[in-house]
Amino acid sequence: MPETELIQLSGDGSHTIISRLFDNTTYHSRHGAISESNVVFIDAGLNYHLLREKKQIRVFEMGFGTGLNALLSYIWSKIHQIDISYQTVEAYPINSSVAEQLNYSSILGEKSIFDLLHNLSWNEKHLIRDTFTFQKYHCLIEEVKITDHVDVIYYDAFAPSNQPHLWEVPILSKMYDLLDDGGILVSYCAQGAFKRNLRFCGFQVESIPGPTGKREMTRAIKFSEKL
């Protein structure tokens, strides 16, 4: 069976993956995988909630992928001593031999945690440390069932040109319903149609500065009359 992923160095020295399954699309920015994830998901997502002085943050990640966003979130929770409940869905897990070669832990540390995130059983909740619980679902986003609301959604699907249905109203409405009041969805994508669909679902949409190589990215906020 041929490999469906090819490892490549990105601009900041961290690995990204080229997916042959999705038309040779990269999992991260070619300008820098770690730097992109820090800007899009940590700075615009977790740090947004840090400013709101939340004692626990519930995260849902659309697309576990390489596990980089989960690793960065684990490190963030350790640094700030803020509890994170982390849930993620992945329909097409990367090959375990590819995951073992990724260089994130050689740059960031926490090799044992990175390996654990990939090797833990699917569809079960795991206590990684006292401030970090983790659960990954092996299914399509349409099939995932999460009963508790979350505070932040990392919307890290492949681009609209590769997976167009994931950027349309039915799935984005599901994301809106999943968020608690005041919760946010953050994404590297700044496509006009995506932002219009978010607004249609009820989000307040912000265009904010993006990572290297992208002028803008998107943060969408769920407000209610109670706020």
Q: How far apart are CA 147 and CA 128, in angstroms?
A: 21
What tens digit of pLDDT does each residue of 67-104 get? 999 999 999 999 999 999 999 999 999 999 999 999 99
Cβ atoms within 10 A of the Cβ of 52, count?
9
How far is it between the farthest Cα atoms of the chain?
54
Burial zone of 167 (CB within 10 Å; 0-12 exposed, 13-18 middle, 19+ buried): buried
Length of the chain, in residues: 227
Q: How far apart are CA 58 and CA 11, in angstroms?
A: 31
What tens digit of pLDDT does each residue of 194-206 get? 999 999 999 999 9
Fold of 32-221: Rossmann fold (3.40.50)
- Report yes or no: 218 and 198 within 8 Å, Cβ to Cβ: yes
Q: What is the pLDDT of residue 23?
A: 76
Q: Which band of pLDDT confidence, cut at 50, 70 and 90, is reported for residue 3?
A: low
- Report yes or no: 53 and 212 within 8 Å, Cβ to Cβ: no
Q: What is the pLDDT of residue 49?
A: 84
pLDDT value at 53 more than 90: no
What tens digit of pLDDT does each residue of 152-182 get? 999 999 999 999 999 999 999 999 999 999 9
150 contacts: CB under 8 Å, gap ≥ 6: 58, 59, 60, 85, 87, 178, 179, 180, 183
Q: What is the pLDDT of residue 226?
A: 42
Q: Which band of pLDDT confidence, cut at 50, 70 and 90, is reported for residue 21?
A: confident
- CA–CA distances in Å: residue 162 to residues 27, 78, 91, 144, 167: 12, 35, 14, 21, 10
Q: Where are the domains of the chain?
A: 32-221
Q: In what order do the strands lie in the sheet with 15-19?
A: 5-9, 15-19, 25-26
Strand partners, 34: none
- CA–CA distances in Å: residue 154 to residues 11, 87, 112, 130, 141: 22, 10, 23, 22, 13
59's tokens: 């995260």
